[in-house]
Amino acid sequence: MIEARGLVKRYGSTAAVNDLSFTIRPGLVTGFLGPNGAGKTTTMRLILGLDYPSAGTVTVNGRPYAQLPRPMRQVGALLDAGAVHGGRTARGHLLCLAQTNGIARRRVDEVLDTVGLAEVASRRAGGFSLGMRQRLGIAAALLGDPRILMFDEPVNGLDPEGIVWIRTLMRSLAAQGRTVLVSSHLMSEMEHTADHLLVIGRGRLIADCSMAEFIARGSGQAVQVRTPQPDALARAAAIAGANVVAGQGLGELEIRGLTEEQVSDLAFAHGIRLHHLAATRVSLEHAFMELTADSVEYRAA
Amino acid sequence: MTTLTIAARPATRTVRSELTKIRSVRSTYWTLFVLVLASIAWCVAYCLGTVHSWPAMSAQDRAGFDATQDSILGLVLLGQLVIVVFGALIITSEYATGMVRTSLTVMPRRATLYLAKAAVFAAVSLVVSFVTSFGTFFLGRVLLASTHAGASLSQPGVLRSLVVSALYVEVCGLFAFGIGASVRNTAGALTLAYGCLALLPQLIRALPDSLHNALMRWVPGGDALNAMTATLGGRHPLLFSAWGELAVFAGYAAILLVLGAVQFTRRDA
């Protein structure tokens, strides 16, 4: 369980994290979402005590992270796969981490095996590819067999095979009843893995809800129609209180705020012919973009 | 799944980890190898040079020949440059590679981590500098055998010179370690450390005599090195004793170590 209360982190006059309060509940995969620069990494650094908050508190299992007696036994984190001394071998790297928490040497070989790095255990990490470094970082996170795992953008820069591997791993960790907090700026990444969502933009909390709620919260469904009388239908729909946008093709409209039955009845009542009528569910990606539209830091013109 | 944990106090575990860290990178072996090699090369060059010119030397020159100083001056003059790199890198390499974030995630008690790091570095460099100091002394004695000018440990000032020189090199490393913890950048730390050790003694020579004379004993490097290593010629009137000069320098290193500790524990990683 991770609890943040009124967390603020300022760099000069800008607040990277602004009054953030949330609870990461045990046994769930929580997706931590937000556009680039939203404050996801900063929040994770605050949880781990790497950065000190300007205000507010964050605790892990009821204590500030720095006061956990053997933090690796409770939390495993992968923030930056590059945070390794390139001159050290994979085994040497993990061994010096394990020793700080009094974790037995043979556990190092176990996790190397788990992440598929057993064969390159004696090679220096400096020569590792991004995917191998990512695996090494995950091995480090798993060393203490923690109940809580934190991954910051774990699939960034990985090839499809690596992405599948990480997704599978996260699901299996969750299936073992572990708490997983995984950040991403891609909604599609969450679709398969997250049970719960924490959405932030510009350091502020935008949404803290289950995946199902999040989808429902978006603008819901839209109805796509094609008609030879688009003007008449648009007028009728607008009067009925819907939001109408012209579609891409000739005579196409996108109507929000009415169900497909209502649109059909409306057309029938006004004697308007319909050539096409279909309800489309708004994709997660779309809902996410709508939700964070106001909080994107840099927008293309 | 066999997570066997070893019962040990956090400080003990962290020291063990730092020992693994220092042993598991090549740069440790390289820098220490260069330190030893440079010290030996100096000793060989000076002693063989003396052996060569010995027959032509006057009785006065022979009496003023300081075999101890000539044997170990390489450790002090060249060794200090190398140990500074070693001391700075121990901490700045963690920042350069990002390893420090991993280290602090697994060991969030920053003061413990800092002290463990400093202690392991101090222990390793202490062993190396003492072995080199005594090693080059005995090597010099062997090389100077034909002249019968070699010193022995029982002669006045010899043991003191060997011990103070080794400790001086050790303190140089801690000096750089403290700077490294504050500036978190290898190039910056080396520039500052070399500036203090090599440039400062030169700079004060440009000052008016009265000021220069008053400051001399407080400036690391330069003439203070002579006071620490010499076994002949008595005490320089403007300097403290060998131990005194070492204490002055150790004081600076202690201040930098404390400043480094404050930065390491208080600032965001």
Minimal Cα distance from A143: which residue of B? B3
Could you tell me where the DSSP H helices lie in chain B?
A: 10-23, 26-53, 59-63, 67-77, 79-97, 99-106, 110-143, 158-183, 186-194, 200-205, 209-215, 223-229, 242-266
- Rg (alpha carbons) of chain B, rounded to whole number: 21
The Cα–Cα gap between B150 and B145 comes to: 6
Full pLDDT tens readout for chain B, 269 residues: 445 666 788 999 999 999 999 999 999 999 999 999 999 999 999 999 999 999 999 999 998 899 999 999 999 999 999 999 999 999 999 999 999 999 999 999 999 999 999 999 999 999 999 999 999 999 999 999 988 888 889 999 999 999 999 999 999 999 999 999 999 999 999 999 999 998 888 888 899 999 999 999 999 888 889 999 999 877 888 999 999 999 999 999 999 999 999 999 999 98
Q: Which of A39-48, A261-270, B252-261 has the lowest mean pLDDT?
A: A261-270
Contact B161, B72 (CB under 8 A): yes
Q: Which of B25, B26, B104 sits opposite A50 (nearest CB)?
A: B104
The Cα–Cα gap between B8 and A101 comes to: 9
What's the gap in Å between the CA of A100 and the closest CA on chain B? 5
For strands A179-184 and A221-226, give the pairing.
unpaired
Amino acid of residue B113:
L
Q: Do B2 and A45 touch (CB under 8 A)?
A: no
Chain B environment of A68 (Cβ under 8 Å): 108
**How many Cβ atoms are within 10 Å of B218's Cβ, its own excluded?**
15
B195 and A CB contact within 8 Å: no
Query: Average of pLDDT values for A120-149?
Result: 94
Which pTM value belongs to this model?
0.86
Q: Do B98 and A84 touch (CB under 8 A)?
A: yes
Q: Which of B14, B97, B106 sits opposite A71 (nearest CB)?
A: B106
Hey, what CATH topology would domain A2-208 get?
A: Rossmann fold (3.40.50)
Amino acid of residue A242:
A
- Report residue A296 as tokens: 């994107």
What's the gap in Å between the CA of A48 and the closest CA on chain B? 6
pLDDT digits (tens, 9 = 90+) for A137-163: 999 999 999 999 999 998 887 888 888
Looking at chain A, the number of H-run helices and the number of E-run strands are 11, 13
Q: At what angle do helices B99-106 and B79-97 cross, to 10 degrees?
A: 70
Say what the pLDDT of residue A46 is: 97
What's the gap in Å between the CA of A52 and the closest CA on chain B? 6
What's the gap in Å between the CA of A70 and the closest CA on chain B? 8
Contact A205, A300 (CB under 8 A): no
- Report residue A97 as tokens: 């981490």
Q: Do B101 and A89 touch (CB under 8 A)?
A: no
Interface mutation target, options A65, A85, A145, chain B, most CBs of B under 10 Å: A85
User: What residue spans define the domains of chain A?
Assistant: 2-208, 221-281
Query: Average of pLDDT values for A265-288?
Result: 82
Interface mutation target, options A99, A106, A114, chain B, most CBs of B under 10 Å: A99
B9 and A CB contact within 8 Å: no
Q: Do A100 and B7 touch (CB under 8 A)?
A: no
Chain A environment of B6 (Cβ under 8 Å): 102-104
Q: Does the pLDDT of residue A82 top 50, yes or no?
A: yes
Q: Do A101 and B25 touch (CB under 8 A)?
A: no
For strands A276-281 and A221-226, give the pairing.
antiparallel
Q: Do B3 and A107 touch (CB under 8 A)?
A: yes
> What distances in angstroms separate CA B7 from CA A104, A160, B11, B143, one per listed residue?
10, 42, 12, 51
What's the gap in Å between the CA of B131 and the closest CA on chain A? 27
Chain A environment of B110 (Cβ under 8 Å): 66
Minimal Cα distance from A122: which residue of B? B24
- Report residue B143 as tokens: 């090389």
Instruction: Write down the CATH superfamily of domain A221-281.
Output: UreE, C-terminal domain (3.30.70.790)
Whether the CA torsion A39, A42, A44, A47 is positive or negative: it is: negative
Query: Average of pLDDT values for A97-122?
Result: 95
Q: Do A101 and B106 touch (CB under 8 A)?
A: yes
Q: What is the ipTM of this complex?
A: 0.89
Q: Which of A84, A95, A103 sits opposite B102 (nearest CB)?
A: A84
Say what the pLDDT of residue B1 is: 46
Query: Average of pLDDT values for A54-80?
Result: 95
B106 and A CB contact within 8 Å: yes
Say what the pLDDT of residue A301 is: 52
Chain B environment of A85 (Cβ under 8 Å): 21, 25, 93-94, 97, 99
Render the burial of B11-20: b for 16+ CB within 10 Å, e for the rest. Answer: eebbbbbbbb
Minimal Cα distance from B8: which residue of A? A102
- Report residue A33 as tokens: 């979402």
Render the burial of A127-140: b for 16+ CB within 10 Å, e for the rest. Answer: ebeebbbbbbbbbb
